[in-house]
Structure formats: C-alpha cells, structure tokens
C-alpha cells in the first residue's frame, strides 16, 4: 500500500522550536529574544530562519489576545524576510474550540467579552447553556468563530526539514492514517464545525499523548521502539514535542530522537524560557537558566 503523502515544510539552515506559552507574552518574548528571532522593538530579526511553536498558546494566563496578534504579525514579517513561523495546535486550543474552559483565567474571559455573538439561532441557543461571562470567549473559539478561523491555520503535526513537530506525540497509527489528512480534517472542523475528528478525540491523539514525554512511561511501554518506528515511517531524524512540563529545562530521550521543549515558562508554572535550535543536523538547547549546550546529531 502506498503510504499517505506527507507535506514537508522547507527546512532552513537554522530551525528554532519553542514550547507551551500559556498566556504569558513576556516569557514568550524572552524565549524569542534568547533565540535571536526578535529585535528590541519586537520585530522579526531571524531572516530566513524558521520558528516552530508547538501549541498551547491559550489558558492559564491573561495575554492570549496579545500573543495571537503578535504571533500573526510576526509570521507575516518572517515570511516577508524569507523565513517562516509554523504554528501548531495544542490540546488547549482544541479544548477551547470544544467549549472546555476549565483553565481559562478571569482575564481570559474578560478579554473576549466583546466578541460578537453568532447570528445562527442554533449556535445562540448552544451558548445560552453557559454563563454570560463565558459566551464571548465561546463565540470566539467555537468552530466557525473568528479565533477558530485563526487557529485553522495551525497544524496538528508538521514536518520541517528532518524533524517532526507536534504538541503531544505522533504514533505509527497517526502516520498510517495520514498526517496531511489529519491536519486538513482538524482545520476544516475549526473553520466550519461538524463532528470533531475521531482520531483527535482520544487520550493518545497527537495533541494529548505523553508516551515520549515521561521517562518511566517510555521504558515501561517500549516508547523508544514506537518512536523509531514512527520516525522511520515519516522519514525524520527526530521528534520535538511540548505538552508535558520539563521543569528542569528541555530534555531528550531515546538517543536524541525525541526532544521535550515544554519548560513551563509561563508564570503559572514559574519555569525559565528556553528554545531548541536545530542547525545543520546539530541540536542545541538555548536557555536562560544555563549556557547553551551542544548535543550530538
């Protein structure tokens, strides 16, 4: 059987990956500055480099509108300079789109209060089941809403150069299903609604799985073998994931085949901003907490 097609984003001499932001614009800018991607006026200074942000811009912090606006402007600047910003979905983005607001801060409700409610009577009726203070946010992120339309430009999984990037993790079954197919189904759902894609609904979906993020689980469940099989199917050298905070800084496992870049840098967690650099096949951790460390290919 012919394997499903996988769209590959053009690589760059230097690719930077930054993990979960969770509503903290200052921490995010510190990570971008650390990586040399923005100047002192917060404009793109990365030239033809590529930034991959692995999702979870939302929840736990109050700067969500500012972060999204800043990122979309920065993406335009990067593309004008010959670089790019590849944005991924995290589980918190799809949680908001599905009406799960458990981790929204009071400020996160207030900032979206002025969002125009939909005219569709069915959608209005659905919103009436929620407290009034939540309706603006729900209208913003529900499929078809203005912010859901923005999130529809984010991928669930992206292959950039010789690396695959995802919020939680990619399993062999996701590759067999089709990465392009999966991305398109999620994007279509965010734009137009309907049924949430079944492959994204389980705890081992690409946005939720933690197999590669916890050493104990890796050893117990043969995670490194699963990872190697997945990378072989994709034709990638390594996987870069967020989702599970590594409070001591970016970590790796399986002989450098997986890198865990959620460092809990948002104020909610209190971690230090960090970024992962992939340059000419070499991987380097950039961190405010310690000197940049070169790592084997």
Supply the residues annotated as catalytic: 92
CB atoms within 10 A of CB 221: 13
Is residue 134 within 8 Å of 62, Cβ to Cβ? no
Q: 238-241 and 251-253: which strand pairing?
A: unpaired
Run of H or E including 18:
strand 14-18
Scan for tokens 């800084």, then name that residue. 249
Token code pair at residue 136:
């603006």
**Alpha-carbon 15 to chain mean position:** 15
Of residues 197, 187, 192, the one with CA closest to residue 118? 192
Q: How far is CA 119 from CA 123, 167, 209, 212, 272, in A?
A: 8, 33, 36, 43, 43
Asked if residues 159 and 8 have their Cβ atoms less than 8 Å apart, the reply is yes
Tokens of 47: 């030239």
């Amino acid at each position: 059987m012919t394997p499903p097609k996988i769209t590959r984003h053009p690589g760059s001499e230097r690719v930077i990956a930054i993990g979960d932001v969770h509503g903290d614009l200052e921490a995010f800018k510190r990570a971008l500055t650390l990586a040399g991607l923005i100047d002192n006026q917060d404009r793109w200074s990365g030239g033809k480099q590529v930034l991959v942000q692995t999702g979870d811009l939302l929840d736990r912090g109050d700067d969500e509108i500012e972060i999204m606006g800043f990122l979309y402007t920065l993406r335009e600047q990067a593309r004008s300079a010959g670089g790019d910003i590849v944005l991924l979905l995290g589980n918190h983005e799809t949680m908001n789109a599905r009406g799960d607001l458990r981790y929204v801060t009071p400020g996160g409700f207030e900032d979206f209060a002025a969002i125009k409610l939909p005219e569709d009577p069915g959608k209005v009726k659905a919103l009436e089941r929620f407290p009034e203070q939540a309706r603006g946010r729900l209208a913003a992120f529900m499929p078809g809403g203005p912010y859901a339309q923005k999130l529809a430009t984010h991928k669930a999984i992206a292959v950039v150069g010789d690396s695959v990037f995802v919020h939680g993790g990619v399993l062999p079954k996701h590759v067999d299903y089709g990465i392009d197919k999966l991305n398109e189904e999620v994007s279509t759902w965010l734009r137009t609604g309907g049924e949430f894609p079944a492959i994204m609904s389980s705890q081992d979906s690409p946005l939720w799985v933690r197999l590669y993020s916890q050493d104990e689980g890796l050893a117990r469940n043969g995670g490194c073998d699963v990872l190697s099989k997945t990378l072989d199917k994709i034709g990638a050298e390594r996987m870069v994931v967020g989702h599970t905070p590594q409070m001591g800084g970016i970590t790796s496992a399986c002989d450098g085949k997986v890198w865990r870049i959620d460092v809990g840098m948002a104020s909610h967690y209190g971690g230090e901003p960090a970024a992962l650099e992939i340059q000419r096949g070499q991987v380097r951790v950039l961190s405010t907490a310690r000197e940049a460390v070169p790592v084997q290919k």
